Amino acid sequence: MKVALVQQKVRPTRQENLDESAAGIRKAAAQGAKLVVLQELHAGSYFCQTEDTSCFELAEPIPGPGTEFLGALAAELKVVIVSSLFERRAPGIYHNTSVVFDSDGSIAGKYRKMHIPDDPGFYEKFYFTPGDLGFEPIRTSVGTLGVLVCWDQWYPEAARLMALAGADLLIYPTAIGWDPRDEDAEKERQREAWITIQRSHAVANGIPVLSVNRVGFEPDPSGVGAGIQFWGSSFIAGPQGEYLAQAGQENEELLIADLEPKRSEDVRRIWPFLRDRRIDAYGDLVRRYRD
């Protein structure tokens, strides 16, 4: 199966961003991709750099205008699309939600981001209610997708639970970057850590990982912070963590790779991590910390 990631920069308006995403999806479909993944909050800027109640106006219901636009595109091109939208669930309840469209344009399922960060430049707890749909893979015409979002990618528990529930691959729409004031060595440590932890999820679970990040500089609208330089570096890794494709750090790119579903089973036969788990001894994992 051919899969694709759309790594893009932000445009001035919502429609321009959606049109750019659509252009990437069309290009991927023309090259034979059956699954196309978009970056986190692809319809606009990463607005969480500051706390501003006016940003809640950017949210939309699901289903809504964004899902109608992407659903029609999925049906037209006969591809599965993994999107990332700012969901307005109810007054005062908003989520960072990934919506998956099947190749007939229907909504196959959605995932609400579970781990919500609250750090300088990433004030997501102000905007997003933690997800309540659990770690449930989404079944589509191209396979069962373990969709997680950005901050979720640092947690091996999330990846494991998706794998145990039958995910054929793990997918991480992402918006992550550097504080421009950091030293180059620190920047590279952060980027390498981000790549390494996700490749480790592929290895530990014996399934591919698809991670797509935005790229380019986005200033802090409040003028307080230094803005974020999103580092791109989107990649597709196989079930042993091997690179199948990797994008650069500065430019918009369409990343395409071929996945062989049988390879995951072959890898799990030689590295049977799921077989050898000591589930009888892992009870303390449900504790915050073992004092």
Looking at residue 106, the DSSP 8-state letter turns out to be -
Of the residues 113, 124, 218, 253, only one is catalytic, namely 113
**Residue 267 lies inside a defined structural domain of this protein:** yes
The token pair at 76 is 């037209």
Determine the pLDDT at residue 51. 97
Confidence category of residue 38, pLDDT binned at 50, 70, 90: very high
**Residue 8 lies inside a defined structural domain of this protein:** yes
Other Cβ atoms less than 10 A from the Cβ of 270: the count is 8
**Residue 183 lies inside a defined structural domain of this protein:** yes
| Cα gap 186→108, rounded to integer Å | 40
| Cα gap 232→216, rounded to integer Å | 8
Q: 38: closest CA among 259, 211, 251?
A: 211
Determine the pLDDT at residue 169. 98
Report the CATH number at residue 203: 3.60.110.10
Determine the pLDDT at residue 110. 98
- 215-225 burial, b at 16+ Cβ within 10 Å, e below that, comes to bbebeeeeeeb
Confidence category of residue 43, pLDDT binned at 50, 70, 90: very high
pLDDT in tens, 142-199: 999 999 999 999 999 999 999 999 999 999 999 999 999 999 999 999 999 999 999 9
| Cα gap 33→47, rounded to integer Å | 30
Question: Mean pLDDT across the chain, nearest whole number?
Answer: 97
Of the residues 87, 150, 218, 253, only one is catalytic, namely 150
Determine the pLDDT at residue 78. 98
Determine the pLDDT at residue 36. 98
What is the domain extent for residue 28? 2-286
Determine the pLDDT at residue 143. 97
Peptide bond into 61 cis (omega under 30): no
pLDDT in tens, 71-91: 999 999 999 999 999 999 999
Of the residues 40, 87, 124, 218, only one is catalytic, namely 40
Domain count, the chain: 1
Q: What is the mean pLDDT of residues 32-56?
A: 98
pLDDT in tens, 91-149: 999 999 999 999 999 999 999 999 999 999 999 999 999 999 999 999 999 999 999 99
**Residue 38 lies inside a defined structural domain of this protein:** yes
Confidence category of residue 59, pLDDT binned at 50, 70, 90: very high
Give catalytic status of residue 157 as yes or no. no
CB 46 within 8 A of CB 228: yes
**Residue 291 lies inside a defined structural domain of this protein:** no
Determine the pLDDT at residue 206. 98
Kind of pairing between the strands at 143-147 and 169-174: parallel
**Residue 56 lies inside a defined structural domain of this protein:** yes
Determine the pLDDT at residue 177. 98
pLDDT in tens, 183-242: 999 999 999 999 999 999 999 999 999 999 999 999 999 999 999 999 999 999 999 999
Give catalytic status of residue 48 as yes or no. no
Q: What is the mean pLDDT of residues 46-74?
A: 97
